[in-house]
Structure 1
């Protein structure tokens, strides 16, 4: 058995950004530090990081000047270790119900080792027959999957009679929206919006009736054609210009599940909605939500069970929930994370830690 680590590397937030994240120089957003590894006490485990979850929402947690009272989780302040979810391996256990070598999901943070209470980790189980991998527990079978299900069912109240449009359709949440809307809820038509022909073809392979490339010069014309007759539900992952366009494509009394705003995370002042009167004139319902609401306002566990059952019944083909797994040295964690904001991923963006 390899000796237990005496020290742990961590990435801390050194300069909370106002606009784009900086990876180098005096104003670098993140800084690498090394600290002593705490000892493991009774009821605790030492976990080694294997995979990091990269999520657009993390950008909002580190925004300079963010008002903690207006944020749904505590912000990550200057000097704090960057927060993230992940999959790790237990390398030392003093908890009766957890064994060394076991894979668990947990709040990993950007830290290569963490000492945690047993209740702070959740065992994960791979299932080759069902196509379930460990990384799915930070993707389709984790927060992104639950976000998609709750946003569609609990927020937008989508039914089989609805046409659903989802932006960011090639992302981890958007791609699950496509599969759930088409194959679980049986919505009559599902339209994705994604960047690039390759991504759009993949979104269509998941079940979308059409996918519109927002990078194409004729994007607006194709969006208008695809949404002819207007649509009942819009699942918004990007905000900005695409949200503004979609306000003109939603039916009277239509519903918008406002999930994310990745188009504006690095430039909060960039959003200028020209079509807001559409909300008033057509009585469009827009509801913002956070995945935690599934447990506080809905029934998150039942929804997670529904997702798992859909996987077992092959309604959701989890092997098609593509992942962009990037082998990354610990020193390059921030660089991989920024791929989220450059359109560098198809499906879930996962950082795989390599020695």
Structure 2
């Protein structure tokens, strides 16, 4: 039997980036460090990272300079391990709920090994029939964001016309399916960055998907919402959507990935007067507020998948096998549009 590790490699924040993170040269954003692993106390387990979630919000957590937004979670400080959710396997345990071999969802970060208390992780059910990475995506916080953003924050109904930005990404692609196939909205309009991605979004159930890089995009979106929309889910193109929502329209904002590498550029709203004149409801939300409801959403989504209302397969994620040294490179694919569905790193041993 192989001996248990006593130290781990982990990626740490080396400097706060103002614009795009740097992976080489002076002022690199991240660096690898070796740190000792603490001895286990009662209720704790030692875990080995298998899959890592890649999330745009991590860019906000490491922002430096005057552009730094108001914090909703503590920032990652220089010298801290880079934060991320992961699926990890228990390799040693003093926790009754976490026997060796158990796979859990935990905040393991960019590390090969880490320790956690059993109260700080969610056990992944065995024999569910779904590939493990989906519990970082459509069956994880990604699905949670899409579901409660539409059902609770936007109070979406079957009678609504819904516009989803970032519709080929992790949360957006799930939101399209929730809106069309679970809620049963009468029309769902997706927005994505290539014609190929738009066709993918339409296979998920969108009535139409529009390429925001097209020279006719705003004309196309105006035509698609000729009778106006009721709900906007996303974050980007917010200003224009102020003009495309009917009176009493609802907006659920969960992020704005296009701005995360240039937060010093202030958002401007030329059409903000519509919020007042059309009595629009604009609600931002953070998925962490709904974390306690994750088991419920997993059950809802598993049932929906059995009924053919939700796609939980290779098409709903981009799985990238990578060496430990390549973790930051995979994460940066998010900001280059190089993913379809959830972007997950499969850590190679």
Q: Which position in structure 2 is the counterpart of 1:94?
A: 94
Shift of 1:155: 0.6
Q: Which position in structure 2 is the counterpart of 1:84?
A: 84
2:347 to 325, 330, 353: 353
Shift of 1:125: 2.7
Shift of 1:5: 1.4
> Structure 1: 5+ residue runs without aligned partners?
none
Shift of 1:303: 4.1
Give the SS at the match of 2:223.
helix
Bigger Cα displacement from structure 2, 51-60 vs 2-11: 2-11
CA–CA distance in structure 1, aligned partners of residues 191 and 126 of structure 2: 31
CA–CA distance in structure 2, aligned partners of residues 115 and 197 of structure 1: 44
Listed as ranges, the matches of 1:197-236 within 5 Å are 197-236=195-234
CA contact 1:66–1:75 (8 Å) conserved in 2: no
CA contact 2:146–2:175 (8 Å) conserved in 1: yes
Q: Which position in structure 2 is the counterpart of 1:276?
A: 272
TM-score by length of structure 1 reads 0.93
Listed as ranges, the matches of 1:321-340 within 5 Å are 322-340=316-334
Shift of 1:30: 0.8
CA contact 1:206–1:320 (8 Å) conserved in 2: no
Per-residue CA distance 1:282-334 (angstroms, 9 max, x = gap): 121110011122258xx565444333332333321322652111111111111
Q: Which position in structure 2 is the counterpart of 1:10?
A: 10
CA–CA distance in structure 2, aligned partners of residues 342 and 203 of structure 1: 18
1:288 to 274, 284, 290: 284
State the number of aligned residues. 348
Bigger Cα displacement from structure 2, 87-96 vs 173-182: 87-96
> Structure 2: 5+ residue runs without aligned partners?
none
Per-residue CA distance 1:201-242 (angstroms, 9 max, x = gap): 1111110100001122221121111111110000024x3xx2
CA contact 1:175–1:321 (8 Å) conserved in 2: no
Q: Which position in structure 1 is the counterpart of 2:245?
A: 250
Counterparts in 2 of 1:179 and 1:221: CA distance versus 1, 3 Å? same
TM-score by length of structure 2 reads 0.94
CA–CA distance in structure 2, aligned partners of residues 163 and 319 of structure 1: 27
CA–CA distance in structure 1, aligned partners of residues 247 and 10 of structure 2: 50
CA–CA distance in structure 1, aligned partners of residues 295 and 86 of structure 2: 20
CA–CA distance in structure 2, aligned partners of residues 320 and 333 of structure 1: 21
Shift of 1:90: 1.0
Per-residue CA distance 1:56-84 (angstroms, 9 max, x = gap): 11111111147999321111111111110
1:259 corresponds to 2:248: no
